[in-house]
Structure 1
Amino acid sequence: MALKFWVTTPFFHADMERPWGELLQDMLTIVDTAERLGFEGVAINENVFQNYVANPSALAFAALAAARTERLRILPGVVVLPSYNPLLIASEMAMLDHLAPGRVGIGVARGGGRYQLDRIGVDPAAAREVYEEALEIIRRVWVEDDVTYDGRYFSFPRTTIVPKPASQPGPDLWVGSQSVDGVRKVAADGMNLLTAPNWGNFEPHGDLEALLEAYNTAAAESGAPRGEVMVYRHTWLGRTEADALEYFDDMVNEYNHYLALTQTGAKGTREERLKARGTGEKVDFVKSGRVIPAEETPSRQALWEQYSDPVLATPEKMIGRFKEMEAMGVDHLACLIAWGQPVEAVVAQMELMAEQVLPAFADRERV
């Protein structure tokens, strides 16, 4: 099938003097516009205790999105599973599945940084194992009654969630991974993959190809059906090259917030970029909820030639880049189009994409 286009609700609260309620309304405007213009879905970011992603509940926002849409697919995530009791996540997702049957999924991960986990009493070094147990529990209780569990991190007596999901075996599950080893495991488990640059934008050409090669090879070796792949990209469409770069400085500001939150630094070699990140050190880089951003100063020169992300381009070039991704096996493209711009500019951007880009990927069989 043809490449499908999503948008994200990133909840980037760069100006904390502005009421958060206004940011919430901006994100709902993105949802409404995606429904109106024919985007396939909306991916809902979540994070806590800081302003880079100022949304403490992707599932609550997903319920709002479900109630105001009729056809849009809705993906809360990624949800950092070690932050939650998996029985509660399974139950809330089952309810969401009844609010919008067949339209909701969930993106899950172990977490890309320790800041959140440190504050809720979860050992970052154990996050991988906690995540594995939580995911196993969620998948079981969606389809089984009277589940008992006695693991290292979760234990409970006979339990049945009520209601079960409307969809069986449950809502679509997507696993967030940015490393070669990680995507191999996602593929071997027959799971859908969510992926983005491990170092937060400015991803050199070739990294995505290496990840997809690892994913596809592991899927073929496992014998499990290949899952679907969703890739996140910073995108901005311009009628001219200058228009496409209009909000470049805002994107760099958002990039530096990401670097600070995830404690990533110099990009290094491809092997270094595509390995799993460690737990990092306890570093105090947030004050009064504001992330103290890094100070990287990437140039706007030769962006197209150097990087696969961002995709800041005219229609012809953007379509060409996305067709290359489609040919590589990318099934869904999640456009990061709100990194500090006025919401009116974001809506105009979505309208321009719907006019100039989306028609080139109308439903058809992938060659």
Structure 2
Amino acid sequence: MKFSMIFEAQLADPTVEREHQLFRDSVEQAVLAERMGFDGIWAVEHHSLKWYAHMSAPEIFLTWVAARTSTLRIGHGVVCMPFRFNHPARVAERAATLDLLSGGRLDLGAGRGGTLQETSLCGVDRERTAQEVEEALRIIGAAWQRDELEHHGELLDIDPHPVLPRPAQAPHPPLFLACSREETLARAARLGVGALVMGFAGPESVARMRRTYDAARAERDSAHFVSTEVNDHFSVLCPTIVLDDPERARSVGVRGQRFFAQSIGHWYGGGGVPDEAVVEGADEAAGMRAAEELMVARLHEQDIPVRPSSTATFQADHAYGSAEDAVAYVERLREAGADEIMCLIQMGTVPQEACMETIRQWGEKVIPRFRDDGPRTSVTVRSTPDTTHEGAHP
């Protein structure tokens, strides 16, 4: 079982000063994550999604974190692969550079970045995003298999060119695909890449998605793989806030998730601007239900189908509360088939002190329950370097 964190760079009340502090806080969280025994971090790529995700250049953020750490795996969760966001040859060059400078610690995920807000910024053809993502993965999977890359696909033609530099991990860092629907999971399995399961629907949904992934793995044909290197790693989202006061942790966590749900609903579902007010003592569960009802009403008004995925982000039964609550939730995710627990801690209304305390609680009380090396009782770095994270992702 692996443990990681994912950064959206969410921001309530996004002034310039608060935005700058958000990035400094996120780096501080990532550095502490390594000290507390997390295996890696992931950073999203989104564009122009105010409130929801200010992480538009994850390659810079991840490079800064890599320079501040030594064992932490550094993950693109994900690169927007449509060609007008990022040409696949440029993705390969940047990924190899970060992989070699980090000592082979990079994981590389692909995604569509398919909101109208994002695609309109860069002139991306929304009808081609899935096809472009798959072709980009094939180009990256082949980039260092020979001395020169040559590709003649349905969308791109690349005459022979060397792709420089070469990554530390041969032939390339492990490849992943962002998955929020069962059809995307089946595609990831068929392509031979790992799954980054980004949904909020909980362990029962994760179990169904794992069955979909495994069924596609059992039936796949290696002729469809994007690379000679197959990655079957299954990483799942785990929203969490853990504090000494479990009730406060639940309140802070549910409030943060409501901001997440409202901000993603604004850009993906046509909802209103997220409610940024944090009221001490408020019934956050009731606020979440009211926000969900409002979102459903707006979808009905716009004749947009209300699917389970439309309201999954309003489901608040996650790892909020005490360390024991988090352990129990991880057990459920493990039973559902998770290979990696991808903690979502940094949400728009969650204060920095709550994020840092949650990371400490996971390092001292949660992660050790799933390790063989015993509990971590302080935030000091191990006396001898841990090299188990070097090289390719297991």
Does TM, normalized by the shorter one, top 0.5? yes
Residues 188 and 27 (structure 1), Cα distance of their counterparts in 2 relative to 1, 3 Å cut:
same
Partner Cα separation in structure 1 for residue 70 and residue 41 of structure 2: 13
How many residue pairs match? The answer is: 328
Partner of 1:271: none
Deviation digits for residues 328-363 of structure 1, max 9, x if unmatched?
321111111111222122111111121221110114
Q: Is contact 2:203-2:336 (8 Å) kept?
A: no
The secondary structure found in structure 2 opposite 1:16 is coil
In structure 1, what is the equivalent of residue 33 of structure 2? 34
**SS of 1:163's equivalent?**
coil
The DSSP-based 3-state class of the residue aligned with 1:206 is: helix
Greater mean alpha carbon deviation, residues 147-156 or residues 25-34? 147-156
Shift, 1:67, TM fit: 0.8
1:314 to 2:322 alignment:
yes
The answer to whether the 8 A contact 1:233-1:309 is kept is: no
Pick the aligned partner of 1:139 from 138, 141, 154. Answer: 141
Equivalent residue number for residue 179 of structure 1: 181
SS of residue matched to 1:236: strand
* Larger deviation, residues 223-232 vs 254-263: 223-232
Shift in Å, 1:313: 2.9
Q: 1:91-139: CA deviations, max 9, x gaps?
A: 0101011111221111111234232112211110111111121111111
Partner residue, 1:359: 368
CA, structure 1 residues 309+48, in 2 after alignment: closer, same or farther (shift >3 Å)?
farther
Cα RMSD for the two superposed structures: 2.4
**Structure 1 Cα separation of the partners of residues 213 and 121 of structure 2:** 33
**Segment drifting more, 221-230 vs 350-359:** 221-230
For residue 337 of structure 2, what is the amino acid of its counterpart?
G
Looking at structure 1, the residues matched to 20 and 315 of structure 2 have their Cα atoms a distance apart, in angstroms, of: 35
The answer to whether residue 271 in structure 2 is matched with residue 293 in structure 1 is: no
For 1:311 and 1:259, the matched residues in 2 are separated by 22
Does residue 349 in structure 1 map to residue 341 in structure 2? no
CA contact (8 A) 1:259 1:294 kept: no
> SS state of the match for residue 11, structure 2?
coil
Work out the CA distance in 1 between the residues paired with 2:67 and 2:116. Answer: 33
Structure 2 residue aligned with 1:249, among 255, 266, 284? Answer: 255
User: Does residue 233 of structure 1 match 2:238?
Assistant: yes
Going from structure 1 to structure 2, the CA distance change for 1:155 and 1:363 (only over 3 Å counts) comes to: farther
Q: In the aligned structure 1, how far is the partner of 2:145 from the partner of 2:333?
A: 35
Secondary structure at the aligned position of 2:288 is classed as coil
| 1:187-211 Cα deviation digits (max 9, x unpaired) | 12221110121xxx3x255221111
Does the Cα contact within 8 Å between 1:338 and 1:346 map onto a contact in 2?
yes
One-letter identity of the residue aligned with 2:58: A
CA contact (8 A) 1:94 1:166 kept: yes
The 5 Å alignment of 1:1-367 reads 3-19=1-17, 20-51=19-50, 52-82=52-82, 83-197=85-199, 201=200, 203=201, 206-222=204-220, 227-247=232-252, 248-263=254-269, 292-293=273-274, 297-299=287-289, 307=315, 310-339=318-347, 340-363=349-372
Secondary structure in structure 2 of the residue aligned to 1:70: coil
* CA distance in structure 2 between the partners assigned to 1:142 and 1:13 by the alignment: 38
Name the SS of the counterpart of 2:251 in structure 1: coil
- Structure 1 residues 308 and 218, CA, compared in 2 at 3 Å: closer, same or farther? farther
The Cα of 1:231 is off from its aligned counterpart by 0.5
Q: Any idea what SS the aligned residue of 1:6 has?
A: strand
Q: Residues 310-340 of structure 1: CA distance to partner in whole angstroms, max 9, x if unpaired?
A: 3213222321221122123211111111112
Unaligned runs of 5+ in 1: 264-282, 286-290, 301-305
- Aligned residue type for 1:242: E
Residues in 2 aligned to 1:294 and 1:309: alpha-carbon distance in whole angstroms: 21
The answer to whether the 8 Å contact 2:242/2:357 transfers is: no
> Post-superposition shift, 1:307?
5.0
Deviations 1:233-286 (A, max 9, x none): 2111244441321312232122100112222xxxxxxxxxxxxxxxxxxx6x7x
The equivalent of 1:288 in structure 2 is none
Q: 2:8–2:346: 8 Å Cα contact kept in structure 1? A: yes
Name 1:266's counterpart in structure 2.
Answer: none
Letter of the structure 1 residue corresponding to residue 176 of structure 2 = W
- Alpha carbons 2:179, 2:185 under 8 Å: kept: yes
* Preserved contact between residue 237 and residue 342 of structure 2 (Cα < 8 Å): yes
TM-score, normalising length from structure 1?
0.83
Q: CA deviation at 1:292?
A: 2.3
Q: CA deviation at 1:166?
A: 1.5
Retained in 2: the 8 A contact 1:9–1:44? yes
For residues 110 and 23 of structure 1, do their structure 2 counterparts lie closer, same or farther at Cα, with a shift above 3 Å needed? same
Q: Which amino acid aligns with 1:298?
A: M
* Alignment TM-score, normalising by the size of structure 2: 0.77
